[in-house]
Structure 1
């Protein structure tokens, strides 16, 4: 089929624009690994993470030829910038061991749920795809990080201390603690309906997720993607306490986290307000208002599920 003159001109202009765009490209920093800061795991786990994760979650990115073509390189650069911000194996040893364990647990949990690697990335980067065996290897490794489930006198003492303090607790103060963004602690969660549970094997905690009336109604009506405005989800964590008979119960209170849905008011943070209060003193988490982006980035792989990880139990 012959092209007319006008079509040829349009094709030529598009081709020139494409070629010119190749000179306008993002900067993707690649560094030589610092062995003292770099993550190292068992050989089997190390091989999986380097193949499937390091391109976006380290400073040792290996760009393929098609990653360097504009406009694809801008998309790749965005993936890498966001990936490094959430998890960077090149600075792994800069974190304390509990934080490293938590990050790895979070990463494996996202892989189990199919949220990582991103489907759009794995589509053209076949090596990044995780097989069933890959995920099982990662699960087994993370399980080894879990504290031994045996009688723990320190946890028992912490629970006893908390209980004694609660018995002596004075009347609730007029002003409830609030974080730097003005999100106040919500004590009413204790009367809400439990909608799910989770377990953090990396740090030995048990978590129960509660939902307010709006959340429970949404679950009953199968209206959870997106969740309606007014939804509040509270995730409460306690020590996982094992007695001498091997029975597992909740130990000392660790923290409560809130997700509050208002897609207009909290548009800048994925439609949710985020807050966390730690220890029985209910110390607000976050020193600056931008701490919420840490929450958003952690939940970003679940953006197609309205940024919510936990699947609620249907009522």
Structure 2
């Protein structure tokens, strides 16, 4: 739901893999989620974006049927009860956990068995997945013998071994170094390319901006915006950065009212009429245009405009405090 327009936005006209309306969840006297609406098309990469404690995990668990909402409706892969389609869903929780004495491929097979994959087939798939993702040398190692990044990859592969139609990751990049974050991004894009719907929660705006078609911004248990990344960024006008040889002249009257001087540059929001009339006035006034650039707002700026400075500050704190 776009709170500015009152409209419920979807990314496009593809069938919906997930739809939620008015989800509410309380824990004792705490209102954790307050009226969440979501519409997530099949085959998309969708981010649930917000600071820690905003209600992201609770929302995902309601969508998966791990917990039930106090009110509201949800439909997942066509089913009103998500548990009816559990074998079509892969879920990687934020709290990682594997049996340390299990061999790596056995851990993958075990997770597949929980989703209906026969153990023999799961073992074969587990070995193949580890080979495919550069862990062939660790197939027979116990989980306790793996590095943290390798163990996280094994659990990730266990989430995918049953070839789900919908994959839900809760803070999947948390604790990964830059190299493994990059590998995970490639894997997520590959899933979407094959038609799998991917939902992931994150408090790191850069991940959502790079990867997602659509996002839900969640703060204080509410969703002030759900829609495309592009529409979110378009909430803020593009900024024009202008450098001129001359500092004064009649051409100055053509600059918008919000123009401010930043060092040797003029900075202002792109006028609704575009930059062409201004450029014409600058040329005719012999301002001597040295450079002119137009920069679109980033998702961080859009997040601040939608969720507020406090939520953005909480995002920055959790990102800085996160382990490498």
Pick the TM interval, shorter chain: under 0.3
The structure with the greater share of residues assigned to helix is 1
The structure with the greater share of residues assigned to strand is 2
**Higher relative contact order, structure no. (Cα contacts within 8 Å, ≥ 6 residues apart):** 2
The TM-score with structure 2 as length reference comes to 0.26
The TM-score with structure 1 as length reference comes to 0.27
